[in-house]
Amino acid sequence: MNLFENTLKLNGFPISKAKSLLKEIQQIPENKYDNYIINAREKIVTYHIQNNPFYRKLIGSKNYSWEDIPVMTKSDLQQPLENRLSKGFNQKNIYINKTSGSSGTPFVFAKDKFCHALTWAKIIDSFGSLGIDFNSSLQARFYGIPLNPKGYYKERIKDYFSNRYRFPVFDLSEEKLNKVLNKFETKKFNYINGYTSSIVLFAKFLKGKNIILNQVCPTLEYCIVTSEMLFNDDKALMEATFGVPVINEYGASELDLIAFTDYQDEFIVNSETLFVEILDENNQTVPHGSSGRIVITSLYNKAQPMIRYDIGDIGILSKASTYKKPVLEKLIGRTNDLITLPSGKTLAGLTFYYVTKSIVSDNGNVKEFMIEQTKIDTFKIKYVSNRELFPKEKTKIEKAIIRYLENDLTIVFEREKSLKRSKSGKLKQFVSMVKQ
């Protein structure tokens, strides 16, 4: 039974049509692929100029060359969603979600239903290249989960239909990791998927016990990490302790699957539904092999424009890259520290992904934020906003932090004019000043 895809169809996402288009795109030969990209990006720009007042105001004129099109930033999108929707779209006929805020700049975004189906078609195709079938392959999922009842049960239902067993990353103590190991001994997992830092911590736990995971779980075939940087030493550790290949996935919820490791261990960029550029500080394209800002165009999102969108990461495209097969030689960013608490609990830095859901609202007040752990029991929230957070908003955030972490923590709020960034230009959402 094709349970996963049928669930998408029941929710109004035309997955069959999306898979058919994706297959057509993949069959375009290399010598004609540049024409496909140029035509696709021209169509999406023209569509939004004609149908989206927000984008028409941003671009300023219909007379443009591609290099003259303004680069969109996350701050451009921090305004009520209804201001950014194209004609004919409303909250009833689109897919709506929030970014995690892992870059420190959260916002609400929308996709039309075909675009979201195309996103899933690309994910299904990429995982399928490894022999992973969302309908039959059992996933060991190292992610967070909302702790409010509605969000919690919604995720559990999604897990059921997506054939995955979730290990929440809010507590990665040895006791909890022992329970994780017990599940691998009793369940026939086919692959691991989740936050890099959490899975690395599990690998270190296994190494300490001299356990090779696929010896206790022989059905395990792959480990797929996402959302954070994958370093070579961590990859080597995971492959040694899991006994299976480690695949790197790079994506963004507001866009699509951006890059995925292939059989030759190359980080192949999604050129079917996205157009990825590497730009310098003056928004000029840098030569392949040079580093720059990763700027991405969603070629099929008609609900709102995501055109020349600066995702906030730095990267390098290989010199061997072509229009059809761009290769991401290096990705810089998305590194998160671990959180250590007075009780001894250890959590993934991306736990604050779920705290940010309490911070983000559609009015666009909070522009940027970062969280510093200054002491083992003290967290400082630095934020840039149009106005000071109201006491009730601060209380909501404090309660969320206590819910996901633990009691008896000190939370300090500091409103800033701007936040300090790393040399790469990346704003880390969480920084720990506590020795691990």
Number of domains in the chain: 2
Whether 377 and 278 map to the same domain: the answer is no
Residues 50 and 23 in one domain: yes
Domain of residue 321, CATH code: 3.40.50.12780
Residues 100, 46: one domain? yes
**CATH number of the domain residue 397 falls in:** 3.30.300
Task: From 306, 332, 358, give the residue that closes a domain.
Answer: 332
Residues 160 and 82 both lie in one domain:
yes
Q: Which of 280, 312, 332 represents a domain boundary (last residue)? A: 332
Of 313, 332, 351, the position where a domain reaches its end is: 332
Residues 229 and 169 in one domain: yes
Burial class (CB in 10 A: 0-12, 13-18, 19+), 48: buried
**Cβ(141)–Cβ(165) under 8 Å?**
yes
Instruction: Identify whether residues 164 and 65 lie together within a single domain.
Output: yes
Assess whether 388 and 269 both reside in one domain: no
Do 295 and 244 have their domain in common? yes
Looking at the structure, do residues 348 and 420 belong to the same domain, yes or no?
yes
Whether 263 and 342 share a structural domain: no
Q: Which amino acid is at 92?
A: K
Six token digits for residue 361: 């609202």
Give me the domain span that covers residue 355. 338-432
Within this chain, do residues 295 and 346 fall inside the same structural domain, yes or no?
no
pTM above threshold 0.85? no
As a whole number of angstroms, the distance between CA 431 and CA 370 comes to: 8
3-state secondary structure the chain: CCHHHHHHHHCCCCHHHHHHHHHHHHCCCHHHHHHHHHHHHHHHHHHHHHHCHHHHHHHCCCCCCHHHCCCECHHHHCCCHHHCCCCCCCCCCEEEEECCCCCCCCCEEEEEHHHHHHHHHHHHHHHHCCCCCCCCCCEEEECCCCCCHHHHHHHHHHHHHCCEEECCCCCCCHHHHHHHHHHHHHCCCCEEEEEHHHHHHHHHHHHHCCCCHHHHCCCCCEEEEECCCCCHHHHHHHHHHHCCCEEEEEEECCCEEEEEECCCCCEEECCCCEEEEEECCCCCECCCCCEEEEEEEECCCCCCCCCCEEEEEEEEECCCCCCCCCEEEEEECCCCCEEECCCCCEEEHHHHHHHHHHHCCCCCCEEEEEEEEEECCEEEEEEEECCCCCHHHHHHHHHHHHHHCCCCCEEEEEECCCCCCCCCCCCCCEEECCCC
Q: What is the pLDDT along the chain (436 residues), one digit of tens a residue?
A: 488 899 899 999 999 999 999 999 999 999 999 999 999 999 999 999 999 999 999 988 667 889 989 999 888 888 899 999 999 999 889 999 888 666 666 788 999 999 999 999 999 999 999 999 998 999 999 988 887 888 888 889 888 888 999 998 887 788 899 999 999 999 999 999 998 888 988 998 999 999 999 999 999 999 999 887 788 888 999 999 999 999 999 999 899 999 999 888 899 999 999 999 999 989 999 999 998 899 999 999 999 999 999 998 889 999 999 999 999 998 875 445 678 899 988 887 767 766 776 666 666 688 778 889 999 999 999 988 889 999 998 998 898 888 889 999 999 999 988 777 654 344 677 888 887 6
**135 shares its domain with 261:** yes
